[in-house]
């Protein structure tokens, strides 16, 4: 009954959903392409080979699961790989990471007919949903079609768990229908178990397995050497954060360059008003430029290699922070804001390891960043601690691959 009510609500919201999709297409035109896929109608025909399907909703999940996708391709060369997403930036990230080695499509909206058409078109042997993509009709349809579902790199903050508990009559059956849940931590596992998950394996965080791209790192280091100035990176910033962080800076010493990389491409033009140059136009900022906008996609490894200290965005507004593991892997000292609930375990580990410091607000974060920039020995210690942290916690991807293999073998030849 609750799923039928949920379906009625999202059906009633269809006009709003389409209007929002078209509106977002003003800045990101790919939102207006292949709209039929969002309702389960696909042009590209399957090859006839068995298929593994993995869903990464947007850019963060696409980057997080990159090693898992490559591992699946290596371990199962006889299978096609289908990757789905929901955002234009996510689709671009998937293509940049994997090229033509995979199929890429929109995941349909969670309408019963759309998800049924999707499953009947592609006929996946295994579904891998990344982090918290639990859609009631989609999961139910997978069960009806005999498709095992693995929830990969699963996280469940206390805030998110509260929301699921409020809608437990809808959420609990969906969570209980997941074949296997790969939780990032014991805390995530406990919350997911309380919400109804049946089989949970604590595998760790696959983001620790992502190695920085060597070519992009080399370019970033060369860029920093040509620049010849200290670089403070404001990484993956969200709306409103850039201004409060920049306003917290003291008078310019005519040396420091602040490199700002917004989380979402649609905000590049908005944030350019706060900068004197942008990478897509001015590859190297002039000597009198204080703020430089990083407005290119797929270059976070470049930006981290170019940085001396990184302030992690999404943590100065109540959004739970962004991925700090990339900075740690690059050996860059990390400064966090107060809101890190989406990366609670990684933040705790980084703070305990001495790879990160945390501030109560934007002003405190800027003070910490400037203090570190003035202390090269501490920056070196923190950078080394971040690399050790990532090395210590690698291995989650292999555990995921073993569970995927188990599910595929249990499913049989199909």
What would the mean pLDDT of 376-380 be, rounded to a whole number? 98
**308 plus 337 within the same structural domain:** yes
Of 165, 145, 147, nearest to 156 by C-alpha is 165
What would the mean pLDDT of 288-307 be, rounded to a whole number? 95
Tell me whether residue 50 is in a domain. yes
CA Rg, the chain, in Å? Answer: 22
pLDDT at residue 414 in the model: 52
**113 plus 46 within the same structural domain:** yes
pLDDT tens digits for range 36-94: 999 999 998 888 899 999 999 999 899 999 999 999 999 999 999 999 999 999 999 99
The CATH number of the domain holding residue 171 is: 3.40.50.11720
At 244, give phi and psi (nearest 5°).
Answer: -70, -35
pTM value is 0.90
**219 plus 365 within the same structural domain:** yes
Catalytic residue among 37, 61, 133, 368: 61
pLDDT value at 413 more than 70 = no
Known catalytic membership, residue 61: yes
| Chain mean pLDDT for the chain | 95
Of 235, 134, 248, 147, nearest to 181 by C-alpha is 134
What would the mean pLDDT of 170-198 be, rounded to a whole number? 96
What DSSP string describes 338-404?
Answer: S--GGGHHHHHHHHHHTSEEE-SSHHHHHHHHHHHHT-HHHHHHHHHHHHHHHHHT--HHHHHHHHH
Tokens of 147: 């498709």
**190 plus 219 within the same structural domain:** no
Instruction: Give the structural domain span for 224.
Output: 214-392
**185 plus 326 within the same structural domain:** no
pLDDT value at 252 more than 60 = yes
Tell me whether residue 209 is in a domain. no
State how many domains the chain has. 2
Residue with tokens 């009559």: 169
**308 plus 353 within the same structural domain:** yes
**141 plus 276 within the same structural domain:** no
**183 plus 84 within the same structural domain:** yes
pLDDT tens digits for range 185-229: 999 999 999 999 999 999 999 999 988 899 999 999 999 999 999
**47 plus 188 within the same structural domain:** yes
**231 plus 369 within the same structural domain:** yes
The CATH number of the domain holding residue 288 is: 3.40.50.2000
């Amino acid at each position: 009954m609750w799923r039928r009510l949920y379906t009625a609500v999202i059906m009633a919201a269809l006009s709003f959903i389409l209007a929002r999709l078209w509106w977002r297409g003003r800045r990101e035109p790919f939102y207006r392409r292949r709209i039929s896929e969002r309702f389960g109608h696909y042009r590209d025909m399957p090859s006839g080979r068995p298929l593994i399907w993995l869903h990464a909703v947007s850019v963060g999940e696409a980057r997080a699961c990159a090693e898992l996708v490559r591992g699946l391709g290596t371990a199962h060369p006889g299978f096609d790989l289908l990757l789905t997403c929901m955002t234009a930036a996510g689709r671009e990230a998937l293509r940049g990471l994997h090229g033509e080695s995979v199929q890429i499509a929109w995941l349909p909206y969670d309408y019963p007919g759309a998800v049924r058409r999707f499953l009947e078109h592609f006929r996946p042997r295994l579904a891998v949903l990344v982090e918290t993509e639990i859609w009631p009709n989609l999961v139910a349809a997978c069960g009806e079609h005999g498709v095992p579902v693995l929830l990969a790199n699963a996280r469940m903050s206390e805030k998110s768990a509260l929301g699921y508990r409020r809608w437990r009559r809808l959420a609990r059956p969906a969570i209980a229908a997941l074949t296997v849940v790969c939780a990032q931590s014991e805390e995530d596992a406990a919350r997911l178990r309380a919400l109804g998950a049946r089989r949970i394996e604590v595998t760790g965080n696959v983001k620790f397995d992502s190695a920085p791209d060597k070519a992009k790192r080399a370019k970033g280091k060369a860029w920093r050497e040509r620049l010849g100035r200290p670089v403070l990176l404001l990484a993956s910033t969200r709306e409103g954060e850039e201004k409060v962080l920049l306003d917290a800076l003291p008078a310019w010493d005519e040396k420091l360059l602040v490199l700002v990389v917004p989380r979402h491409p649609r905000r590049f033009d908005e944030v350019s008003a706060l900068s004197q140059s942008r990478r897509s136009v001015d590859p190297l900022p002039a000597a009198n430029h204080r703020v430089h906008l990083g407005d290119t996609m797929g270059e976070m490894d470049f930006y981290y290699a170019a940085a001396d200290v990184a302030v992690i965005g999404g943590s100065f507004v109540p959004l739970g922070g962004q991925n700090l593991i990339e900075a740690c892997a690059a050996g860059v000292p990390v400064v966090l804001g107060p809101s890190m609930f989406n990366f609670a375990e990684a933040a705790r580990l980084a703070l305990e390891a001495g790879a990160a410091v945390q501030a109560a607000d934007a002003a405190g974060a800027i003070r910490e960043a400037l203090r570190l920039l003035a202390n090269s020995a501490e920056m070196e210690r923190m950078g080394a601690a971040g690399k050790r942290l990532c090395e210590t916690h690698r291995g989650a991807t292999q555990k995921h691959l073993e569970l995927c293999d188990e599910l595929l073998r249990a499913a049989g030849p199909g």
